[in-house]
Amino acid sequence: MSSAKKAVKGDPARDVKIRPASAEDIPSIVELDEVATGHAKPEYWLQLFEHFSREHVERHAFLVATIDDRVVGFITGEIRPFEFGAEVCGWVFALNVDPQMRVHNVGTRLFDEICKIFARAGVAKVRTLIERDNHLVMAFFRSQGMMVGRFIGMEKDID
Q: How far is the CB of 151 from another protein (least distance, A)?
A: 12
Does residue 156 belong to the site contacting another protein (CB under 8 A)?
no
Residue 52, amino acid: F
Looking at the Cβ atoms of 7 and 139, the one nearer to another protein is 139
Does residue 94 belong to the site contacting another protein (CB under 8 A)?
no
Does residue 39 belong to the site contacting another protein (CB under 8 A)?
no
3-state secondary structure of 137: helix
- Binding another protein by CB under 8 A: which of 150, 155, 156, 159? 150
3-state secondary structure of 128: strand
Looking at the Cβ atoms of 28 and 96, the one nearer to another protein is 96
Does residue 13 belong to the site contacting another protein (CB under 8 A)?
no
Q: Give the CA distances from residue 145 to residues 40, 84, 107, 125, in Å, rounded to whole numbers and listed in that order.
A: 31, 23, 13, 12
Distance in Å from the first CA to the final CA of the chain: 55
Looking at the Cβ atoms of 60 and 127, the one nearer to another protein is 127
Does residue 143 belong to the site contacting another protein (CB under 8 A)?
yes
3-state secondary structure of 75: strand
Report whether 132 contacts 148 (CB < 8 A): no
User: Under the rule (CB under 8 A), what is the footprint of another protein?
Assistant: 132-133, 135, 138-139, 142-143, 145, 147-148, 150
